Structure 1
Amino acid sequence: MATEKAAPTLIGSVQRALRLLEAVGDHRQGATAKQLARKAGLPLATTYHLLRTLAHEGYLRRVDGVYVFGEAVGTLSRYRELREGRDAITTALDRLREELGAATYFATYRDGELEVVDVSEGPGMPAVEQWADFRVTGNAHAIGQCLLGQLDREGRLDYFSRHSPQSLTPRSVTDSTTLLRRLEARHPGRPVLEQQEYQPGVVCAAVPITVGSAVCTIALSLPVAEAHRLPATADRLAMRVGAVMDRLSFTI
């Protein structure tokens, strides 16, 4: 005999509060408690109790006898925008992974730190194992070199003053003078190529991009056995990034 599926546990007070918020949304100029009670189909006493709670938490404000959205609702909208933005990034990375046949990455430089926002990998296209923290090893991988290359000299010096260049493989560049000269020589629109500086057996490329005022990059990685593909695949990534970014509407 088939097992009867259990009904979900619902919290009535939360449902009623959400119905009130929806009712406020239907009255752009605000609404009285009585109007909201009728719209939400709630007893007036219950409505008053929920309105006081929602106003206390910042989701509503009472202005000239009517209720309107409070600042906390903006926080919910901000979260939704961020969630939609992250979903758009994931979709874009998945598409690029399939087109390029390589694991793909989206990263940004925020508040003085490197941050890998999302990674897309698949069968035969594994992502780089972050055995050494990406945030503090920017000298050794394409993502870091690309992001740091978009900063001014002061920004680069600030990063290296907090995160000394690390030697992760025999190919890692750790001399600060050489690193700064190398970053300054980067062509603004060209992909950054890195071969086994972060991890033996892996080659990477990163393309510089900006989202609003944010410094960002989309990158890819390949096993060293496919190193011959790196320059051409990096160029394809650079060509595709513009079209991908045009479809993204998110806030970093």
Structure 2
Amino acid sequence: MTGEQPSDLIRSVSRALRVLEEVARADRPLSVKVIARRCGLNLSTSYHLVRTLCYEGYLHRRPDGDYLLGSQVAERFHEMLGAFERPPMASAVLRHLAADSGHTAYLAQLAEGRLIVVDVAEGPRSPWLEDLQAGLETAPHATALGKALLLALPSRVRRGVLTGYGLRRFTPSTPSSVEDLEEELAGLRPGQVVEEHGQFRDQVACAGAVVPGTQWAIGISARGLTIPPRAAARLGAAVRDLARA
């Protein structure tokens, strides 16, 4: 949640969402009593919310009486991804980039100041990055994808995005202030391939670039603190392919 709390919140909706969030975060199914305790709700309210969410398909009740996420959550997830109007041939370009370079390829966009990964094609030369998966929100200030998209924004808008999101430290190398990031981007021009080395994950490097004429960025990741020149060249070619498409 971001920004000031609206004065006209519907409390029952907020509580239901809090229940979903707690069930989603848990590493095992939860009982209603545990849900009530974690959400700070009384037991009667929790039973009403859980029954409603089960009826609508957002929670699923196991035979032992515990609850986990229901199928409607997955449906909304796929609808959310589908709502992003991706460039034509985006998935094909990503798959070709991953196959040609051997590195995992990502497609992302800034949406309301949040960096959303929309598509991923896995490659064997990249580590598994759990925060860079389709549908997830990730850090614009610490990732090459985010930096490439931020670079394309006017300075005032960029500062607003960074201030709203915050600059969480992922590693000792992560930029810790807006000024640090502005200094890092100062020597780059919009559309240029942007790299980060160990800022998002230790011993992982990423590169990203904005597709000309769009608000999309393509990126790749690599083990170690360097992006192989061949992989960077393949990334540039993929950006051009997507721009032409």
TM-score normalised by structure 1 residue count: 0.57
Partners in 1 of 2:161 and 2:113 — Cα distance? 7
Corresponding position of 1:89:
90
C-alpha distance in structure 2 between counterparts of 1:246 and 1:185, whole Å: 27
How much has 1:99 moved relative to structure 2? 0.9
CA distance in 2 between partners of 1:231 and 1:135 (Å): 28
- 1:244 counterpart residue number: 242
After superposition, where does 1:78-117 map in structure 2 within 5 Å?
85=86, 88-117=89-118
| CA distance in structure 2 between the aligned counterparts of 1:86 and 1:216, rounded to whole angstroms | 8
1:87–1:246 Cα change, 3 Å: closer
8 Å Cα contact 2:145-2:219 kept in structure 1: yes
Aligned to 1:230: 228
Q: Where in structure 2 are the equivalents of 1:98-247 lying within 5 Å?
A: 98-130=99-131, 135=137, 137-211=139-213, 214-224=214-224, 227-247=225-245
How much is the aligned-residue C-alpha RMSD, in angstroms? Answer: 3.0
The answer on whether the counterparts of 1:105 and 1:116 sit within 8 Å (CA) in structure 2 is: yes
Range that drifts further, 179-188 or 140-149: 179-188
Change in CA separation of 1:135 and 1:185 when aligned onto 2, cut-off 3 Å: farther
Q: Which amino acid aligns with 1:181?
A: E
Task: Quote the offset at 1:234 in angstroms.
Answer: 1.5
Q: Cα distance, 1:118 vs. partner? A: 0.4
Contact 2:204 2:223 (C-alpha < 8 Å) held by counterparts? yes
Q: Cα distance 1:175–1:229, how it changes in 2: closer, same or farther (>3 A)? A: closer
Report the CA distance between 1:119 and its aligned residue.
0.6
Q: Deviations over 1:59-94 (max 9, x none)?
A: xxxxxxxxxxxxxxxxxxxx9x97995783221100
Letter in 1 for 2:115: L
- Structure 1: which 5+ residue stretches go unaligned? 1-78, 248-252
Alpha-carbon distance in 2 for matches of 1:237, 1:198 = 19
C-alpha displacement of 1:216:
1.5
> How many Å apart are 1:163 and its aligned residue?
1.2
AA of the residue aligned to 1:223:
R
Q: What secondary structure sits across from 1:206 in the alignment?
A: strand
SS at match of 2:171: coil
Displacement of 1:239 = 3.0
Sort the Cα spacing of 1:92 and 1:131 in 2 relative to 1 into closer, same or farther, 3 A: closer
* CA shift in 2, pair 1:134/1:167, >3 Å: farther
Taking a change above 3 Å as real, the CA distance of residues 90 and 239 of structure 1, as seen in their structure-2 partners, is closer
List aligned pairs for 1:19-58, cutoff 5 A. Answer: none
Counterpart of 2:235, as a letter, is: L
The residue identity in structure 2 corresponding to 1:103 is T
Separation in structure 1 between the aligned mates of residue 231 and residue 83 of structure 2, nearest angstrom = 30
Contact 1:107 1:115 survives alignment (8 Å): yes
Deviation at residue 238 of structure 1 after TM alignment:
1.1
How far has the Cα of 1:109 moved from its partner? 1.6
Distance (Å, rounded) in 2 between the aligned partners of 1:207 and 1:150: 10
> Which consecutive residues of structure 2, in runs of 5 or more, have no partner in the other structure?
1-79
Q: Give the whole-Å Cα distance in 1 for the aligned partners of 2:199 and 2:235.
A: 21
Could you tell me which residue of structure 2 aligns to residue 63 of structure 1? Answer: none
1:191–1:235 contact (8 Å) kept in structure 2: no
- Contact residue 114 and residue 140 of structure 2 kept, 8 A: no
Distance 1:179 1:190 in 2: 16
CA distance in 1 between counterparts of 2:86 and 2:139 reads 27
Q: Given the superposition, is the C-alpha separation of residues 123 and 185 from structure 1 closer, same or farther in structure 2, using an over 3 Å criterion?
A: closer
Distance in 1 separating the partners of 2:113 and 2:94: 24
Q: Secondary structure at the match of 1:148?
A: helix
CA drift of 1:150 comes to 0.8
